[in-house]
Amino acid sequence: MPARRESFVSPDDWARIRDAYKPNDPFRAFLEFCWETGARPQEARAIEPRHVHLDRAVIAIPPPEAKGRRTWRVIRLEGRALELVRERLATAAGKLFTNRDGAAWTSYALNCRFARLKAKLGEKFCAYEFRHGFTQRLLVGGVDHLTVAALLGHADGQMVQKVYSHMDQADDHLRAALRRASGEPEVGEG
């Protein structure tokens, strides 16, 4: 069984990370896309303009290019993610998300940027933690694990239910659910 993925970017972490970069920084755009969509870092790095379908507000990656190579990977775009994609499309030639030089992000380049971020914030983060943070936010927000799994591109809900939930770290959320189930008023209610 795979190890549990306990590390995730929280909303507070995201605010600190986002604020560490200027709004037009390409690394910030890459991270923001991952934060808003839950895309795998390797998916976000590989997106090309041909994958973008603004008429349907999706990024559609064909099976030969998608993880598992069996089904289409569809990344739905709403709000800020849709804005980011529109902004990037205006100048994209090859990959949608590129560095300042217009080159595709490599794993090495991302790792270097995360090392600089660690020096700046004093805390280590990695790209996959944005996907885990997306998952955590949705689950705590009350989205069922099957819907979250579909948004993440999983074949079924087992991975989210068993591995990604992080619910053992969401004590406030679990206590609120228990109060609702027992008919007790929410904290702050009459």
Q: How confident is the model at residue 136 (pLDDT cuts 50, 70, 90)?
A: confident
* Structure-model confidence comparison of residues 130 and 171, the more confident one: 130
Q: How confident is the model at residue 4 (pLDDT cuts 50, 70, 90)?
A: very low
CATH of the domain at 51: 1.10.443.10
Question: How many other C-beta atoms are found inside a 10 Å radius of the C-beta of residue 173?
Answer: 15
Contact 39, 152 (CB under 8 A): no
**1 within a domain of the structure (yes/no):** no
DSSP 68-104: TSSS-EEEE--HHHHHHHHHHHTT-SS-SSB-TTSPB
**55 within a domain of the structure (yes/no):** yes
Task: Kindly report the backbone phi and psi dihedral angles of residue 151, in degrees, each rounded to the nearest multiple of 5, phi listed first.
Answer: -65, -30
pLDDT exceeds 60 at position 46: yes
Of all residues in the chain, the percent with pLDDT exceeding 70 is 88
pLDDT exceeds 90 at position 126: yes
pLDDT, residue 64, reads 95
**190 within a domain of the structure (yes/no):** no
- Give the range of the structural domain holding residue 152, as residue numbers without chain letter: 11-181
pLDDT exceeds 60 at position 89: yes
Q: Which of 135, 110, 159, 142 is nearest to 38 (CA)?
A: 135
d(CA 157, CA 84): 28
- Count the domains in the chain: 1
**48 within a domain of the structure (yes/no):** yes
What pTM, to 2 d.p., does this model score? 0.85
pLDDT, residue 2, reads 45
**98 within a domain of the structure (yes/no):** yes
